[in-house]
């Protein structure tokens, strides 16, 4: 049995689809569905059961699963970079991860977990996944950094795989609200007003809309996660992005092109509360993953946006 925490979420549900496509159906989904539309991500998927995240943690610690579990993809977390409750993030993102990791280590279970590019903070120390001395800008990023450090401190980095996701976008993110990708938000803006609104820059070295991020498509992400499961010798912490930073203006033009609309971009004020923790540039150093046999080049921003817009957003937000 393969456990996928956060299995009804964005990356988790797309991973379940990939596992199904590879013939894997013995999947236990761990999540908290609540009152969101997240459940729609599970429709059409093949799996054994859905277990609430709190119940699963309790049952796991009490040893109720025995030798059933072959691998754990630990993708579940609070991923809101604006979350202010540090105690909640410590418990939900850090201590929960420690419990699962201890269980996996004691039973030699393959453990692949989500770290985050948010650990790199403003990027003043670069985006090298061999570096651990980092300064996250928000508590979410710090909760991920804490677990990376815990894994390293306990000598588990030679057994586990940590994945630092950069700006992932694609189908099944529809329930994420404010945390959904700018691609999805831009699609809605064009539908409603024919305009895409982007934040102004508050640094002279970046023109408005020329802040850059490493945008990576969900289909490339889940194929890499599956390869990490398939090749058990892969271990360590890895960046997962395209390795090429692109501007928000590039992204907006890609959305307009995919929608066959004339580009009209408006640059607006950034909320004051966001300015102190805003990343102006992210770009995954992919050299470490390139040294493994699982590395595959990602789709370009334009090709990925075209697939997302035409295959999913334009089809009433079809699920993957």
User: Which residues are annotated as catalytic?
Assistant: 140, 176
State both tokens at 135: 């300064």
Collapsing DSSP to helix, strand or coil, 105 comes out as helix
CA distance 162 to 150: 12
Number of C-beta neighbours around residue 131 at 10 A? 13
Task: Specify the DSSP class assigned to residue 281.
Answer: B
Closest CA to 279 of 148, 116, 150: 116
CA distance 196 to 264: 6
State both tokens at 103: 């269980």
State both tokens at 187: 């699609």
**Measured CA distances, 244 to 42, 68, 126, 181, 264 (Å):** 32, 40, 14, 18, 25
CA distance 53 to 29: 9
Task: Specify the DSSP class assigned to residue 153.
Answer: H
Enclosing H/E stretch for 240? strand 236-240
State both tokens at 270: 């950034």
Ramachandran class of 126: left when φ > 0, alpha when ψ lies in -120 to 50, beta otherwise: left
Closest CA to 119 of 94, 97, 138, 98: 138
Token look-up 């997962």 returns 240
How far the first Cα of the chain sits from its last, in Å, is 22
Q: Are strands 236-240 and 161-165 parallel, antiparallel or unpaired?
A: parallel
CA distance 320 to 13: 8
């Amino acid at each position: 049995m393969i456990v996928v925490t956060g299995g009804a979420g964005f990356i988790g549900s797309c991973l379940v689809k990939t596992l199904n496509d590879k013939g894997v159906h013995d999947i236990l989904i761990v999540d908290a569905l609540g009152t969101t539309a997240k459940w729609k991500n599970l429709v059409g998927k093949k799996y054994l059961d859905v277990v609430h995240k709190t119940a699963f943690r309790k049952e796991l610690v009490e040893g109720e699963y025995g030798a059933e579990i072959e691998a754990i993809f630990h993708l579940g977390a609070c991923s809101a970079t604006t979350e202010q409750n540090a105690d909640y993030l410590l418990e939900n993102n850090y201590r929960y991860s420690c419990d699962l990791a201890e269980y996996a280590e004691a039973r030699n279970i393959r453990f692949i977990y989500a770290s985050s590019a948010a650990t790199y903070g403003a990027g003043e120390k670069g985006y090298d996944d061999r570096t651990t001395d980092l300064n996250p800008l928000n508590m979410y990023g710090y909760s991920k950094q804490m677990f990376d450090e815990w894994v390293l401190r306990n000598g588990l980095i030679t057994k586990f795989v940590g994945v630092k996701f950069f700006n992932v976008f694609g189908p099944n993110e529809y329930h994420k609200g404010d945390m959904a990708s700018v691609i999805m938000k831009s699609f809605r803006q064009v539908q409603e007003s024919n305009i895409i609104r982007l934040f102004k820059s508050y640094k002279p070295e970046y023109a408005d809309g020329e802040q850059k991020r490493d945008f990576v498509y969900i289909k490339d992400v889940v194929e890499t996660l599956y390869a990490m499961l398939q090749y058990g010798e892969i271990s360590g912490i890895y960046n997962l992005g395209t390795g090429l930073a692109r501007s928000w203006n590039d992204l907006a033009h890609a959305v307009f092109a995919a929608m066959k609309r004339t580009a009209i971009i408006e640059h607006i004020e950034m909320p004051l509360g966001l300015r102190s923790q805003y990343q102006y540039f992210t770009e995954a150093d992919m050299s470490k993953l390139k040294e493994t046999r699982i590395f595959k080049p990602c789709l370009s921003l334009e090709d990925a946006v075209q697939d997302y817009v035409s295959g999913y957003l334009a089809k009433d937000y079809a699920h993957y």
